[in-house]
Structure 1
Amino acid sequence: MNSGLTKNPWRVMLGVNAALLVGLFFYKITLRPFVPYIHLLVDYHYGFTKRALIGAIVSLFTDKVPVWLVFALGGAIWLVTLGLFVELFRRTFRLDDAHWPLFVFTAGSPFFLKNFMFSLGHFDIYGCALTIVLLLIPARSISYVLLAALFSIVLILIHHIFVLMYVPTIAAIVVLRFYLVQGVTLRNVVAGIAALAAVGILFLAAQFLGTVDVPYDEFLRHLQSRMADPSRTDLLEFGYIWYQPLAKEITDTWARMPSNILGVPVFALLIWLHTPLWRYFARLIDALASERHRRIVVAAIIMISAGFFVMFVMVFDYSRWISNWAVCMFLMLHAVKTLPASKEVPVIASDDRRTTTLGWIVTVIPRVGIIRPF
């Protein structure tokens, strides 16, 4: 008699993923949240400041920030993102046996929810959540373009690196879901140009005008005054990033490059393990009814990837960048699926032995990491 493992291994993989997520959460709360905690302390006390929106919002509700708030806020946005993605998957595909392999290779990928759990408290997940919202809501009017611009502005106020991380994907989704459907009119073009200009100007302001303009010791004293436990000064050691110019970040990244570049083969292997997913994505693009749509989708993927390449050159959190690149590809897959197709594309086979093996490997990998692989 065949066991449940043999009959439907994909459901078992979902259970294994759930267990790993629980384990990752309990492991994460044992670690000191250096960068995520200090982000909750920085606000607009000294005027316009980069990376300060979340901290400024927190300051509206409490004068003293406990360390546990990092995990509470991070866990809340993680659960919201999980719910949003499940709903997105249900709408785009279906939550049934035929689509479990696709769900495992996306939701169960070490690049996605598991890595967001490991990096709990970091702000990458906000970009993912808002991008999923744009995939869920109707794109019937110019308000969709304006909402996408608003989301991009919020993300840049959270952290200006979003201009390379999720804003290109948001722009691509607007093009695929709005401009390819509603057409290019003077009104639509003006709105798009105005949105791009607003986002671009804000990014430049955050990058070059958002540095704290007070002595470093004074800045640290302000952060310490907002701590629920001021004795935990060890959690303030990354305060220098609000003073570090772009040139210094690039210099530090290239100084670490010889050792960090050793992780590239590991990233390549992790990407290769998702081969059934990439092949399905390629078939979706190839099946698009319009050659123009195919070219625009390919151009969008190149644009998104170029943004992440620039991030690799400038900032050394490589495991986060490659993981978020993969997440952007997962979300682009959903956007492409909504475009008119000339033929039905078969889903990832659930009974193929090689695919099942890759699914198990993807499942048991708990996460990718933040800087170096694992």
Structure 2
Amino acid sequence: MLAVNVAVITGVFIHKITLPPYVPYIHLLVDYHFGFVKRALIGEIVSLFTQKVPVWLVFALGGAVWLLTAALFVKLFRRTFGFNEAHLPLFVFTAGSPFFLKNFMHTLGHFDIYGCLFAIVLLLIPAQSVGFVLLAALLSVILILIHHIHLLMYVPTIAVIVVIRHYLTGGIKTSNLAIGAIAILSLGALFVALQFWGTMPVPEADFVAYLKTRMADPTRTDLLGFSFIWYQPLAKEISDTWARLPSNLLGVPVYAALIWLHSPLWGYFANSIRALSDERHRRIVVAGIIGVTVAALIMFGIVFDYARWTSNWAVCLFLILHAVKTLPCSKKVEPISSRDRKTNAFGWIVSLIPRVGVIRPF
């Protein structure tokens, strides 16, 4: 199954590099030239190294981030579970999931993977010091500057990881509680500033003209078609999403089926929560999962990229599982069985599905 996943990921990559990178490319062009605006941090960093951005940089940068994320997840899985035979089915249902690395390959160059990467980093490093809370806040700031929707997409998961790894394990003190509260308020203020005052302050024609000066090939004007998103207010995004709702809801049964195919993983996750020795820990973990899910549902009501939101929600749960395994347990959790016929069938199907998609399934 792992070999099939490697082959599928290779195929997705070959297919991806043949497609025009409309949204990812323009994000590499936009910087803070006209002032502080949303969705401009990555472009600003790129501008420090080059003033002419080639199209291939989307795939080079996106590929490097993908490889780093995959490598760190393998390291995380090895540390949490190990690569013994008993836990290989769990690895197939996480690393081999169409929600995870395969879909990140399909969305190569998009900003989603940065949230996953930062969350994995926070799962790997020591969490006892209050510096862990400060680092999590800093990484969350970076994510929101990359794209403000990260406040709903990965910042809630980062918050759950901080609560589990720092507050539940190390204890709540006045100092770390105050820093956490300040961080939450600061992230909320940053989101509001970007959402309501982060639009481009110049006419769109001037904005597009500037972007052309940053293109290695200014004739590729087809890649600038998404310049309007730096001018689109929240009300417009919501109205567009609800206008597409009837057609997008047709994909919900597909998402439900994909989630059902991961039922061996969800069963293991539920058993891991039940095995926690502290009832308070169990309640906080469940509340965290509910919070992450509610944030995903809010995204569904604001922006219509349903396939991406569903995929990232699943990835967030994969990562929270690793955080849960750091808490003390009262009993051993049996790994996913490799001898169960239904589990094996689900594993093969999950391995063969190449991706979930961006807006609609597949």
TM-score by length of 1: 0.96
2-structure distance, mates of 1:335, 1:296: 12
The secondary structure found in structure 2 opposite 1:45 is coil
The aligned counterpart of 1:86 is 74
The aligned counterpart of 1:355 is 343
The secondary structure found in structure 1 opposite 2:331 is coil
* Correspondence 1:104 to 2:113: no
Instruction: Give the letter for the 2:356 counterpart.
Output: V
Instruction: State the 1:181 CA deviation.
Output: 1.4
- 1:215 corresponds, among 191, 195, 203, to 203
The aligned counterpart of 1:9 is none
2-structure distance, mates of 1:116, 1:31: 15
* Correspondence 1:199 to 2:206: no
Instruction: State the 1:182 CA deviation.
Output: 1.5
* Correspondence 1:179 to 2:171: no
Instruction: State the 1:196 CA deviation.
Output: 0.8
For residues 115-154 of structure 1, give each alpha carbon's deviation from its aligned partner in whole angstroms, at most 9, with x where no partner exists.
Answer: 0000001010000000000000000110000000000000
2-structure distance, mates of 1:338, 1:186: 23
RMSD over aligned Cα atoms: 0.5
For residues 324-354 of structure 1, give each alpha carbon's deviation from its aligned partner in whole angstroms, at most 9, with x where no partner exists.
Answer: 0000000001000110000000100011111
1-structure distance, mates of 2:8, 2:250: 27
The aligned counterpart of 2:218 is 230
Instruction: State the 1:184 CA deviation.
Output: 1.3
2-structure distance, mates of 1:53, 1:209: 16
1-structure distance, mates of 2:178, 2:309: 32
The aligned counterpart of 1:296 is 284
Aligned positions of 1:306-317 closer than 5 A: 306-317=294-305
Aligned positions of 1:1-374 closer than 5 A: 13-374=1-362
The secondary structure found in structure 2 opposite 1:229 is coil
Instruction: Give the letter for the 2:208 counterpart.
Output: L
Structure 1 unmatched runs, 5+? 1-12
1-structure distance, mates of 2:60, 2:176: 40
Larger CA deviation: 150-159 vs 190-199: 190-199
Residue identity over aligned pairs, in percent, reads: 69
2-structure distance, mates of 1:326, 1:176: 18
Runs of 4+ in 1 over 6 A off after TM superposition: none
For residues 69-121 of structure 1, give each alpha carbon's deviation from its aligned partner in whole angstroms, at most 9, with x where no partner exists.
Answer: 00000000000000000000000001121111000000000000000000001
For residues 297-350 of structure 1, give each alpha carbon's deviation from its aligned partner in whole angstroms, at most 9, with x where no partner exists.
Answer: 000000000000000000000000000000000000100011000000010001
Instruction: State the 1:275 CA deviation.
Output: 0.3
1-structure distance, mates of 2:121, 2:174: 26
Instruction: Give the letter for the 1:118 counterpart.
Output: H
For residues 40-73 of structure 1, give each alpha carbon's deviation from its aligned partner in whole angstroms, at most 9, with x where no partner exists.
Answer: 0000000001000000000000010000000000
Structure 2 unmatched runs, 5+? none
The secondary structure found in structure 2 opposite 1:130 is helix
Instruction: State the 1:215 CA deviation.
Output: 0.5
Instruction: Give the letter for the 2:121 counterpart.
Output: V
The aligned counterpart of 1:10 is none
Total equivalences in the alignment? 362
Instruction: State the 1:232 CA deviation.
Output: 0.5
Instruction: State the 1:281 CA deviation.
Output: 0.2
1-structure distance, mates of 2:169, 2:313: 26
Instruction: State the 1:198 CA deviation.
Output: 1.4
2-structure distance, mates of 1:242, 1:52: 10
Larger CA deviation: 180-189 vs 235-244: 180-189
